[in-house]
């Protein structure tokens, strides 16, 4: 059975001017690079895009820029609309629907330590606000706690909820969830261990490093479909080398610096983000100069 929105989606980074304002031109520069890669779609306005640091107006403008650039392609567009305010989330969701996006996703509300029932009702109202398929989100690193299995099952049973972006290293819980709701779409969010999740049969991935290495992850997805374990291991190790460097430089600032080093004028990360380490450029150069890495640069 074909799953809704399955495949490998770039967690799109955002283009900012030197003073930190949203910059449509730099967003287009990023899209020009990303869209040359072997990916299924774009995940717009999420954590990788610094969405939590952007206003509703900026996120709405970004949705429009992305749709305008990608409208004549086959790329699936998923708008992340999970903001601390449910009212703002609904506004963004309706905006995405009016622009012709293919799906929505949302972090659980995370500004306060909400109860599981409050989180459930947030998703219930948000999923009902449009006709677009909704992808809910499990990400303990952001919420500070894992979601109980029975709660995730309840969320997947909501009308309009078609799947989950699962960003947790608890693969046993993921397998239990897949067994309980096999018809849902499962995305995995940890780039550095996506091969493990693909081996469990997830339907795709959504990741930050796809901005740079989208074609590599597309090949990894195809290798998993072909049960080519050796190829999966080879590609995953290249991914892991890059992620290791980003953990030194800072993931989002380091991703943007990588694109700059590859000739993409994408602008800086928004404050308070900043590059880390003694020499971030040198740290990244050691990885991206490797022929195994360069093979995947488009």
* Percent of the chain's residues with pLDDT above 90: 96
SS (H, E, C) the chain: CCCCCCEEEEECCCCECCCCCECHHHHHHHHHHHCCCCCCEEEECCCCCCHHHCCHHHHHHHHHHHHHHHCCCCCEEEEECCCCCHHHHHHHHHHHHHHCCCEEECCCCCCCCCCHHHHHHHHHHHHHCCCCCEEEEECHHHHCCCCCHHHHHHHHCCCCEEEEEECCCCHHHHHHHHHHCCCCEEEECCHHHHHHHHHCCCCEEEECCHHHHHHHHHHHHHHHHCCCHHHHHHHHHHHHHHHHHHHHHCHHHHHHHHHHHCCCCCCCCCCCCCCCCCCHHHHHHHHHCCHHHHCCCC
Q: At the topology level of CATH, where does 7-230 sit?
A: TIM Barrel (3.20.20)
pLDDT of residue 298: 86
Q: Is the pLDDT of residue 122 over 80?
A: yes
Mean pLDDT along residues 128-139 = 98
Domain coordinates in residue numbering, the chain: 7-230
- Which of the residues 165, 210, 217, 256 is marked catalytic? 165
Please write the tens of the pLDDT for every residue from 25-47: 999 999 999 999 999 999 999 99
Q: Which of 33, 122, 137, 166 is an active site residue?
A: 137
pLDDT band (50, 70, 90) for residue 103: very high
Is the pTM higher than 0.75? The answer reads yes
pLDDT digits (tens, 9 = 90+) for 165-189: 999 999 999 999 999 999 999 999 9
112 is catalytic: no
Residue 137 known to be catalytic: yes
């Amino acid at each position: 059975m074909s799953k809704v929105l399955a495949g490998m989606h770039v967690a799109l980074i955002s283009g900012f001017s030197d003073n930190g304002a949203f910059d449509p031109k730099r967003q287009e520069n990023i899209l020009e690079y990303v869209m040359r890669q072997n990916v299924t779609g774009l995940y717009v306005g999420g954590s990788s895009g610094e969405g939590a640091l952007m206003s509703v107006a900026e996120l709405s403008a970004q949705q429009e820029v992305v749709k305008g650039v990608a409208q004549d392609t086959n790329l699936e567009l998923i708008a992340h609309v999970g903001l601390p305010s449910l009212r703002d989330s609904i506004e963004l969701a309706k905006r995405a629907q009016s622009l012709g996006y293919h799906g929505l996703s949302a972090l659980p509300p995370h500004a306060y330590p909400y109860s599981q029932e409050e989180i459930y009702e947030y998703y219930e109202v948000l999923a009902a606000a449009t006709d677009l398929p909704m992808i809910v989100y499990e990400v303990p690193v952001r919420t500070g706690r894992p979601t109980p299995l029975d709660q995730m099952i309840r969320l997947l049973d909501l009308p309009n909820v078609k799947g989950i972006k699962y960003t947790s290293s608890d693969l046993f819980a993921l397998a239990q969830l897949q067994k309980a709701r096999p018809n849902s779409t499962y995305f995995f969010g940890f780039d550095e261990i996506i091969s493990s999740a693909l081996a469990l049969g997830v339907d795709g991935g959504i990741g930050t490093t796809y901005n740079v290495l989208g074609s590599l992850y597309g090949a990894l997805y195809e290798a998993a479909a072909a049960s080519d374990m050796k190829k999966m291991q080879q590609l995953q190790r290249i991914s892991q080398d890059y992620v290791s460097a980003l953990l030194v430089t800072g993931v989002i600032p380091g991703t943007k610096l990588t694109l700059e080093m590859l000739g993409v004028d994408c602008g800086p990360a928004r404050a308070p983000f900043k590059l880390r380490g003694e020499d971030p450029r040198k740290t990244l150069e050691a990885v991206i100069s490797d022929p195994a890495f360069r093979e995947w640069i488009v």
